[in-house]
Structure 1
């Protein structure tokens, strides 16, 4: 067993298998069934490149053997930072076949995040594009390799630099290793198959171990609730490594059914709508910010969108007006809200829910063995209809973050319930309503940003005495981040100066504050802490010109 991994208790493993949620198979074995059964069907489209299931099987086999030839072994961790390309899917399948654990980084992550992932996981390899936009990954990866002894292999998609291996060549060049080696590998179905990333409130992201069996079930049950069949066509424009596009039901759930996935590398509405028409897309995954852009696109009515059967929205609450517009734009589609987390639990509204339930709630759990409690600050269950912190456990919800026993002691109850930090209320229908969160996060268009992580960096600025990052409302993204600062005597700071300072720390661009407000003092709670709720209201008052609240 991997040191630092918290397994499911044996009695729950037996229970979940007895009830059919878990099948005693690795994720690679689940994929193998689909790759063989649907071998002649088109599985993946990436621009002009079309791949059958048989093609993905053959290419991922070859890549798996070449990765073994490099020296990778089962349970080795691999930081995977690729855009929405076919190579991501081929590599993901190959890593499952050799039992390596991909770490689901984003192509927008930079030195600060990638180094953290390598150090936290003791990763053996890092895979990235040679360049993405105007950013070149090679020098950053080389720098991390000098600082992290575990990192033995740097693999680039595109033209490799000194010391790098070419992902394209590893996929295409015939492997010297015998295919029989793959059959001889021993992979435990209860071991981790991926580390997803938490939106945790601390400055260091937490690694979420998802096991082979729980992650496969996660995708199967999500596919059932989202009405996936072998004729379904999914268009993926959200970052492919995120839990929603990858597994809810995502690539996994669609491939298990022999369905088709279309990949696209940007979120420009005209391109998305054209792809829907061209490929007769049946399923769209969006966050509300993207959906708003699609339904407000002036030329949306010029495209044939009648193929879309389901628009799946997650990441943040969808407003009723957005839902109404989406129904007009995609007249044949069920606009389905869901609430989920990379840690596990998924809630979906259902097609037969009454209209008021569809408009007011985020859904209900997808499995009858999803155990949900809403707790007060003392850990007691709240009365029906009252707001409480979501605590959950079940056949696809983690039992502990990787390698952080002290943190796990805070985030999990003694009987294994995960304390999510989300505030929910039970609706009379049995669905749930999201009422906010205890976690100090800014939800920027579905990307969860740790306020503490950014605050720690801003405190390093020589002009800053204290800082608090708070969410401010945004019509398109839901929330943006405002950095509220107290300056040292005689110092000054501009928004441009703060942005330049933070860029110098090489963090992902989406984490940069989009507003700066300077205060003489911060409002404090009765416990002497900064009242971020009051501070956020003061920022909004400044934005709207309401001086009575400032």
Structure 2
């Protein structure tokens, strides 16, 4: 096994294999079978190209052979820093084919993040674009290679200058690929925390293949499906839930959007026949707003919405405006996914995050002493199962804090279970505001603010107000109301709106700050530390 990887105990691993969750096939083997069954079918589409399964398989095999010629071997880590394009898929499949491990960086990452990933993973290679959205990734690669001595190779998709062109690898002669053990690490995802540098999440071929299959099952995605990757495809949701990688492993079509703006994605949805996509709530609301000016028929599409709380009012607004079916999702790169089902009633779809996708997902809701609480009581969500990791990569100190002695992952998320087994996410343990002697969930307040006409996105933070108390500060991004005019948003009007919704007085905001957009961390989470830091420079209303 890879040094730094924490495997499942033997008894659990045997149980998951007997249950059929782990099939003993590598991701490359699964793709090869999919490609052999439908060589002439379109496998993937991006802003500039479309490829058949046969073409994608050939490109992946050639890149794999080229990487072997460079000296990249099984268990070697390779930082993959590619945006939403076909070369991302062919590169990941190629690495899977030789047993090397992609470290999936996001397009928004820059020198500090990439240097951390290269050092933390002990990467031997970096694969990135020449330029993307005005940024020169070759200059970044020069800096990282200088400061990460173990980084022996730089491969560039495009004008490579002094580096190795990815196109050169894609013209390599095909050689026999080595066997790959499905229990080995297939890829390293990044943790989604908003503080500190990302931790590395090791996902094996076995567990990630099941992750894909289980998610596909609940949305009925098969070889007739068309998945739109609107968010960055290195994100777990856009990659494997079932995501773009799942689409080509299952025989469907992956559509890789260069950006998630309605102007770009609406034509793709129409022209490519998209049946499934995954969005964060802010983007779902943006699409709903845009659809008023640019009507689009999404009645044949399922929209998975996750990453942050997607409350009933927002879900109903998006569903009504776009006509698509909504699936509410809670998912973590570390593993567990809960998902509403297509036949769930509206109150479940709009009011919960659904049920686990696997029968052997174990969930505990616990209090501060890690004692199980009753159904309906809020506590921290702990989980373990056949696709939930047993430890971060090479991070023993983090693992001691993040996992119980019997292998449950401490999610840091506040949740409760309903009588019928659905999960309701209530917020983050670290996102509780101490206000007027009470504890206020920032996420709960955010859900109410999003129901205010004219608010498209919001974040709520606590800021110090004396030694023990905090002020509740709402940051609001405005959209258009139903009449096309900007809705007035003031502290008084927001408080009156929330009071009318029956919210307790101690949960009322103390300030409302209107901002053009919300800052985000490199992994796409709202950066609440940046909001707190900027508060003094903002005008409150």
Tell me the TM-score normalized by structure 2.
0.81
Task: Report the alpha carbon displacement of residue 48 of structure 1 after superposing the two structures with TM.
Answer: 4.5
Partner of 2:412: 421
Query: Are the aligned partners of 1:399 and 1:416 in contact in 2 as well (CA < 8 Å)?
Result: yes
Q: C-alpha deviations, 1:109-148, integer Å up to 9, x for none?
A: 0011000000100000111111122221222211211211
Task: Report the alpha carbon displacement of residue 386 of structure 1 after superposing the two structures with TM.
Answer: 0.8
Q: C-alpha deviations, 1:312-366, integer Å up to 9, x for none?
A: 11111113233223223333x3211100000000000112222222221111101
Partner of 1:513: 530
Structure 1 residue corresponding to 2:172, chosen from 167, 174, 187: 174
Partner of 1:289: 282
Task: Report the alpha carbon displacement of residue 436 of structure 1 after superposing the two structures with TM.
Answer: 0.9
Structure 2 residue corresponding to 1:258, chosen from 231, 251, 258: 251
Partner of 1:523: none
For residue 377 of structure 1, give the secondary structure of its aligned residue in structure 2. coil
Partner of 1:323: 315
Task: Report the alpha carbon displacement of residue 156 of structure 1 after superposing the two structures with TM.
Answer: 1.1
In 2, Cα distance between equivalents of 1:430 and 1:510: 29
Partner of 2:435: none
In 2, Cα distance between equivalents of 1:120 and 1:419: 22
In 1, Cα distance between equivalents of 2:316 and 2:96: 41
In 2, Cα distance between equivalents of 1:299 and 1:411: 44
Structure 2 residue corresponding to 1:400, chosen from 360, 368, 391: 391
For residue 47 of structure 1, give the secondary structure of its aligned residue in structure 2. coil
Partner of 1:312: 304
Structure 1's 412 and 278: CA in aligned 2 closer, same or farther, altered over 3 A? same
Query: Are the aligned partners of 1:110 and 1:507 in contact in 2 as well (CA < 8 Å)?
Result: no
Task: Report the alpha carbon displacement of residue 169 of structure 1 after superposing the two structures with TM.
Answer: 2.1
In 1, Cα distance between equivalents of 2:185 and 2:249: 19
Partner of 2:375: 384
Partner of 2:338: 347
Structure 2 residue corresponding to 1:233, chosen from 210, 226, 233: 226
In 2, Cα distance between equivalents of 1:509 and 1:285: 15
For residue 290 of structure 2, give the secondary structure of its aligned residue in structure 1. coil
Residue 237 of structure 2 is aligned to residue 248 of structure 1: no
Partner of 2:467: none
In 1, Cα distance between equivalents of 2:357 and 2:74: 31
For residue 190 of structure 1, give the secondary structure of its aligned residue in structure 2. coil
Structure 1's 305 and 352: CA in aligned 2 closer, same or farther, altered over 3 A? closer
Partner of 1:17: 17
In 1, Cα distance between equivalents of 2:245 and 2:523: 30
For residue 415 of structure 1, give the secondary structure of its aligned residue in structure 2. coil
Structure 1's 140 and 44: CA in aligned 2 closer, same or farther, altered over 3 A? same
Query: Are the aligned partners of 1:201 and 1:440 in contact in 2 as well (CA < 8 Å)?
Result: no
Query: Are the aligned partners of 2:194 and 2:525 in contact in 1 as well (CA < 8 Å)?
Result: no
Residue 423 of structure 2 is aligned to residue 432 of structure 1: yes
Partner of 1:45: 45
Task: Report the alpha carbon displacement of residue 27 of structure 1 after superposing the two structures with TM.
Answer: 1.6
Residue 75 of structure 2 is aligned to residue 83 of structure 1: no
Structure 1's 235 and 318: CA in aligned 2 closer, same or farther, altered over 3 A? same
Structure 1's 69 and 108: CA in aligned 2 closer, same or farther, altered over 3 A? same
Size of the aligned set, in residue pairs, is: 473
Task: Report the alpha carbon displacement of residue 510 of structure 1 after superposing the two structures with TM.
Answer: 7.6
Structure 1's 514 and 409: CA in aligned 2 closer, same or farther, altered over 3 A? closer
Structure 1's 356 and 79: CA in aligned 2 closer, same or farther, altered over 3 A? same
Q: Can you give the 5+ residue segments of structure 1 that lack an aligned partner in the other structure?
A: 452-467, 478-501, 520-538, 545-550
Residue 128 of structure 2 is aligned to residue 128 of structure 1: yes
In 1, Cα distance between equivalents of 2:525 and 2:424: 31
Partner of 2:493: none
For residue 389 of structure 1, give the secondary structure of its aligned residue in structure 2. strand
Partner of 1:497: none
Query: Are the aligned partners of 2:190 and 2:199 in contact in 1 as well (CA < 8 Å)?
Result: yes
Query: Are the aligned partners of 1:78 and 1:125 in contact in 2 as well (CA < 8 Å)?
Result: yes
Task: Report the alpha carbon displacement of residue 369 of structure 1 after superposing the two structures with TM.
Answer: 0.2
For residue 28 of structure 2, give the secondary structure of its aligned residue in structure 1. helix
Structure 1's 227 and 196: CA in aligned 2 closer, same or farther, altered over 3 A? same
Task: Report the alpha carbon displacement of residue 198 of structure 1 after superposing the two structures with TM.
Answer: 0.6
In 2, Cα distance between equivalents of 1:353 and 1:407: 37
Query: Are the aligned partners of 2:27 and 2:93 in contact in 1 as well (CA < 8 Å)?
Result: no
In 1, Cα distance between equivalents of 2:368 and 2:136: 46
In 1, Cα distance between equivalents of 2:15 and 2:386: 9
Structure 1's 129 and 509: CA in aligned 2 closer, same or farther, altered over 3 A? farther
Bigger shift: 432-441 or 289-298? 432-441
Query: Are the aligned partners of 2:226 and 2:255 in contact in 1 as well (CA < 8 Å)?
Result: yes
Query: Are the aligned partners of 1:339 and 1:347 in contact in 2 as well (CA < 8 Å)?
Result: yes
Structure 1's 394 and 470: CA in aligned 2 closer, same or farther, altered over 3 A? farther
Task: Report the alpha carbon displacement of residue 429 of structure 1 after superposing the two structures with TM.
Answer: 2.4
Task: Report the alpha carbon displacement of residue 377 of structure 1 after superposing the two structures with TM.
Answer: 1.1
Query: Are the aligned partners of 1:357 and 1:429 in contact in 2 as well (CA < 8 Å)?
Result: no
* Pairwise CA RMSD: 3.2
In 2, Cα distance between equivalents of 1:471 and 1:215: 39
Structure 1's 349 and 469: CA in aligned 2 closer, same or farther, altered over 3 A? same
Residue 540 of structure 2 is aligned to residue 543 of structure 1: yes
Partner of 2:466: none
For residue 296 of structure 1, give the secondary structure of its aligned residue in structure 2. helix
In 1, Cα distance between equivalents of 2:253 and 2:473: 38
Tell me the TM-score normalized by structure 1.
0.80
Query: Are the aligned partners of 1:111 and 1:507 in contact in 2 as well (CA < 8 Å)?
Result: no
Task: Report the alpha carbon displacement of residue 405 of structure 1 after superposing the two structures with TM.
Answer: 0.9
In 1, Cα distance between equivalents of 2:184 and 2:79: 18
